[in-house]
Amino acid sequence: MGSTSEFGRRDLIKRAAAIGLIAVPSMSVLSACASGGDSGNSNQVDKGEKSATNPLAINEGAPLDVVIFDGGFGQQYAKDAEAEYGKVFPSSKVSHSATQKIQSTLQPRFNGGTPPDLIDNSGAEQMDMGTLVGKKQLTDLNALLDAPSVDDPKKKVRDTLRPGVVEMGQFDGQETWILYYAYTVYGVWYSKTNLRKLDAQYPETWDEMLAVCEKAKKKGIAGWTYAGKHPYYLPFSLYPFIAKIGGREVLDKIDNLEPNAWKDPAVKSAFEAYYELYKKGYILKGTPGLTHIESQTAWNEGKALFLPNGSWVENESKKTTPKDFQMAVGAPSGLDKSDKLPFGTIWASGGEPFIVPKNAKNPRGGMELLRIMLSKKSSQNFIKQVSSLTSLNGGTEGLTLPPGLASSQEALTKAGQNVVNPRIQDWYVALQKEKIGVAAIGELMAGRATPDEAIAKIQRFADDTAKDASVKKYRHK
């Protein structure tokens, strides 16, 4: 997955489909935004002159309004790309703002018809992607994807991206509503140094996981901690664990909101395994009350061995990470020999979703900034700053990767075809975060619900969503 230059475009799509990265069109087609920025909105600035340096024909003097989620990746990478934009279009004034409260900050602007030109729609207050697409509030990004890339004008932007990234942004038909800028590896994060101090290796089976946790407990160290106040982090390792046990089709049924999908034996086995961590006292005391930052800090301090998270954690926790920590990511430990997928099965996908609102004043400018961000220069700047891959295929040549990012590359190589990508987190944001994450899985791991109770609750939540006519539905084939 780290390097796919040896594959043709058709092979890339086949491979993306095989690893579950491709979103599948449903019956309806959202065509209102198919013009790539020319939606007929009288609020928009006029087009400019198309040229080699301005292939999207933006109005070179028009201001650009950018809002970035100020989370694990910070905002400097975006500011640097904006500076590159300013070099090409010096008469354009770029307005940059950052917030952790994306929805509460931007929803009034959407409602008022004055949204920004480009948004990094991420974080705990992420706007619901499915709702934005369903209500036709986004610009189709195919004009960007069909534009020449900054580095090689003979290549379209779409042909420079990692497998499946484009397809992830296609909820309906062939329109592309979202550009996932980062490429995130999810899993069980750990310190090679701290495991070595216990004379232990990363566990490949659940029995080995419990044995390592017991060994740590005897030394006064917890096996696990997690973002207790944001327990939707737990699925980062739990979902690929479910897929490993029962096959990727179990996750597809969950994504499709199929009846009784959560009652699959693989789900029950995975929930019971995680519940055992609680019952045996292997979870750091007080974890249910910790934020993501507090749990990461406790992990950095050696109070716990394992942390379910995404590859942004290396940058987000760098202030508290010891120099000799040797951060690494592990694929979920297997349950037993009956598992459908091999050890190494992991969740990896496009992350950090960027959108251009349909009613933006300067949508072409928003797309042009994304084009600049997908250049090798901006991509490498992002990699160096935040220890994460981008969706630009390759782009790491000549870089010395920090431990966590190097480990992510190794994990992708080991996984091969066995990369899964649960779509429930972007198809049904509210269901995934607050209901499944907080109200069910969070309660399970805090010991306030049994596996059976948590599963029954989640199935009810999923059934309610499936029956809710106001929620647009998406499906795998």
Residues 272 and 372 in one domain: no
pLDDT tens per residue, range 106-118: 999 999 999 999 9
- CA separation for the pair 296, 292 (Å, rounded): 6
Is 25 a residue whose pLDDT tops 70? no
What is the pLDDT, as a whole number, of residue 164? 81
Q: Please identify, among 412, 436, 457, the residue that sits at the C-terminal boundary of a domain.
A: 412
Q: What is the CATH number of the domain that holds 339?
A: 3.40.190.10
Residues 179 and 258 in one domain: no
Residues 107 and 190 in one domain: no
2 found inside a domain: no
pLDDT tens per residue, range 203-220: 999 999 999 999 999 999
Q: What would the mean pLDDT of 345-352 be, rounded to a whole number? A: 93
197 found inside a domain: yes
pTM of the predicted structure, to 2 decimals = 0.78
Is 260 a residue whose pLDDT tops 70? yes
As for how many domains the chain has, the answer is 2
What is the pLDDT, as a whole number, of residue 41? 60
User: Pseudo-torsion of CA 404, 159, 239, 409, nearest 10°?
Assistant: -20
What is the pLDDT, as a whole number, of residue 427? 87
Residues 176 and 277 in one domain: no
140 found inside a domain: yes
Residues 197 and 76 in one domain: no
Phi then psi dihedrals of residue 393, to 5 deg: -70, 120
Residues 55 and 192 in one domain: no
Is 434 a residue whose pLDDT tops 70? yes
476 found inside a domain: no
pLDDT tens per residue, range 126-177: 998 888 998 999 999 999 999 999 999 999 999 999 888 998 998 877 899 9
Q: Which residue has the tokens 């120099």?
A: 323
What is the pLDDT, as a whole number, of residue 477? 67
Q: Quick one: which of 158, 66, 170, 64 has its CA closest to 391? A: 158
Residues 31 and 101 in one domain: yes
When the pLDDT of each residue in the chain is averaged and rounded to a whole number, the result is 90
Token pair in block for residue 85? 């934009």
78 found inside a domain: yes
Is 33 a residue whose pLDDT tops 50? no
Give the domain extent around 219: 185-347+422-467
- CA separation for the pair 98, 123 (Å, rounded): 12
Q: 197 pairs with which residues across the strands?
A: none
Indicate the pairing of strand 419-420 with strand 346-355: parallel
Residues 343 and 371 in one domain: no
Distances (CA, A) of 97 to 49, 70, 72, 88, 101: 28, 9, 16, 21, 12
- The better pLDDT of the pair 335, 20 is held by 335
Q: Please identify, among 375, 394, 412, the residue that sits at the C-terminal boundary of a domain.
A: 412
What is the pLDDT, as a whole number, of residue 171? 83
Residues 222 and 237 in one domain: yes
475 found inside a domain: no
Residues 233 and 316 in one domain: yes
pLDDT tens per residue, range 209-257: 999 999 999 999 999 999 999 999 999 999 999 999 999 999 999 999 9
268 found inside a domain: yes
Residues 230 and 266 in one domain: yes
Residues 155 and 225 in one domain: no
The single-letter DSSP state of residue 361 is S
170 found inside a domain: yes
Is 80 a residue whose pLDDT tops 90? yes
Q: What would the mean pLDDT of 171-195 be, rounded to a whole number? A: 93
Q: Please identify, among 393, 412, 431, the residue that sits at the C-terminal boundary of a domain.
A: 412
